């Protein structure tokens, strides 16, 4: 991932240094497991733990000759360890180290992304409760529909963030899985107990039956969980972009002192971060497709997956980490104009209460078809002539025959929806991101 979108903590998980450190953890854990089974003498374990190390530049230098990264790494470790290095990588194949080490990186990255998501969820919940009573017109097809509150919109996002968190936790657990089962995964030259001991010490799961590699449906699921989370951010970002349009102007990104929106037009305040989120989400979806393509390998394995994973796994984790942290900051500082929301609600001449009037007429005993016709007559007049729907419906002879003026006014009162909001925000109050 380019430096522009790489934050230090997540970027540090995917460096060459971190990758090889994970490999070394796996190899030392395997030596210790063999020692528990009586294969490696205690003094060799002590020597390996004390002396085992690597140098990334030296590993890269050796790889220029071996053209094999695992052999280059093990050669360099042996240079540090000496005689006892004969016990390192005993009975293992390259993917035992590679996939189990990768599981450690996925676990670390997944936990960081979960922390990011929890932080976003907390902010979304807080701001949703802040605007629980900020009445806003709801829109379907981009057209005024029924009144909602801005808190409802943010609350929807908060619950989606919780689902993203649950998906990502499950996907991380599914992908943070190792294998120490040797070539083709048959335990031909390694005791299955070694695998259980190694993965137990490292705090990851193990593949119950592996081929030469951990099965790639696990990685695909993780990348798709990452992509879905990115799509959730994009969904929120598109809404902010709509709300910031000049014709709407109900909410907008904060605009910092000294910030400039256009090289040509000094008045511009553009939703640049929201647009950036939409673009980044496309990258995550493309990377998720690579994960799906990597599931199918030849026989017990080939290595067509590994070259692609070197790109898409770090890039996806780094990019989503960036997106989550940036989006959390945006939501926290989002500028909300409740007066503009009310003004926009009034633009449609109270037509948003047409369903309320329809149901009120039905409640008087009027047939639904007749009630629909009566309401639509007044609604179309209001739409075409720019007149107030409330006045027109109150003057409609069909309505006057069954309802009083006070009853009509009560139907047209925006506050009548408060009971539903109490239920909605009661559910939101119970939403937690602490676990």
Active site residues: 141, 262
Closest CA to 206 of 227, 188, 235, 185: 185
For the chain, the first-to-last Cα distance in angstroms comes to 30
Contacts of 317 (CB under 8 A, 6+ apart): 10, 13, 14, 109, 110, 112, 113, 226
Q: Give the CA dihedral 325, 327, 331, 332, nearest 10 degrees.
A: 20
């Amino acid at each position: 991932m380019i430096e522009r979108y790489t934050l230090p903590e997540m970027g540090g998980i995917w460096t060459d240094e971190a990758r090889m450190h994970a490999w070394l953890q796996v190899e030392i854990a395997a030596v210790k497991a063999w020692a528990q089974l009586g294969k490696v003498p205690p003094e060799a374990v002590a020597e390996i733990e004390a002396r085992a190390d690597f140098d990334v530049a030296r590993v890269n230098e050796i790889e220029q000759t071996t053209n094999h990264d695992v052999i280059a790494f093990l050669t360099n470790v042996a240079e540090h360890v000496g005689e006892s290095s004969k016990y390192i990588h005993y009975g293992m194949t390259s993917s035992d180290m590679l996939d189990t080490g990768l599981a450690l990186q996925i676990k670390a990255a997944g936990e960081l992304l979960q922390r990011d998501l929890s932080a976003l969820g907390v902010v979304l919940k807080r701001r949703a409760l802040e605007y629980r009573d900020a009445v806003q017109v709801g829109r379907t097809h981009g057209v005024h529909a029924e009144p909602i509150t801005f808190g409802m919109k943010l609350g929807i996002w908060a619950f989606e963030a919780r689902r993203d968190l649950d998906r990502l936790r499950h996907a991380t657990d599914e992908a943070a899985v190792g294998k120490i089962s040797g070539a083709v995964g048959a335990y031909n030259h390694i005791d299955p107990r070694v695998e259980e001991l190694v993965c137990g010490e490292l705090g990851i799961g193990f593949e119950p039956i592996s081929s030469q590699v951990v099965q790639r449906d696990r990685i695909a699921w993780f990348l798709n969980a990452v992509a879905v989370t990115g799509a959730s951010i994009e969904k929120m970002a598109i809404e902010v972009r709509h709300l910031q349009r000049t014709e709407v102007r109900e909410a907008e990104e904060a605009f910092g002192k000294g910030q400039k929106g256009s090289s040509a037009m000094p008045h511009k305040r553009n939703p640049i971060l929201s647009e950036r989120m939409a673009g980044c989400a496309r990258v995550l979806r493309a990377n998720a497709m690579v994960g799906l393509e990597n599931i199918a390998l030849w026989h017990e394995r080939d290595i067509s997956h590994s070259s692609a994973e070197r790109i898409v796994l770090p890039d996806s984790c780094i990019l989503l980490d960036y997106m989550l942290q940036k989006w959390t900051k945006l939501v926290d500082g989002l500028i909300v104009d409740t007066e503009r929301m009310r003004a926009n609600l009034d633009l449609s001449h109270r037509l948003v209460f047409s369903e309320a009037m329809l149901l009120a007429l039905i409640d008087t005993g009027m047939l639904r078809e007749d009630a629909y016709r009566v309401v639509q007559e007044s609604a179309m007049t209001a739409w075409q002539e720019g007149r107030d729907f409330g006045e027109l419906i109150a003057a409609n002879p069909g309505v006057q025959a069954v309802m009083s003026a006070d009853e009509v006014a009560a139907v047209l009162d925006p506050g009548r929806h408060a009971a539903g909001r109490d239920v909605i925000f009661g559910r939101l109050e119970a939403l937690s991101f602490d676990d």
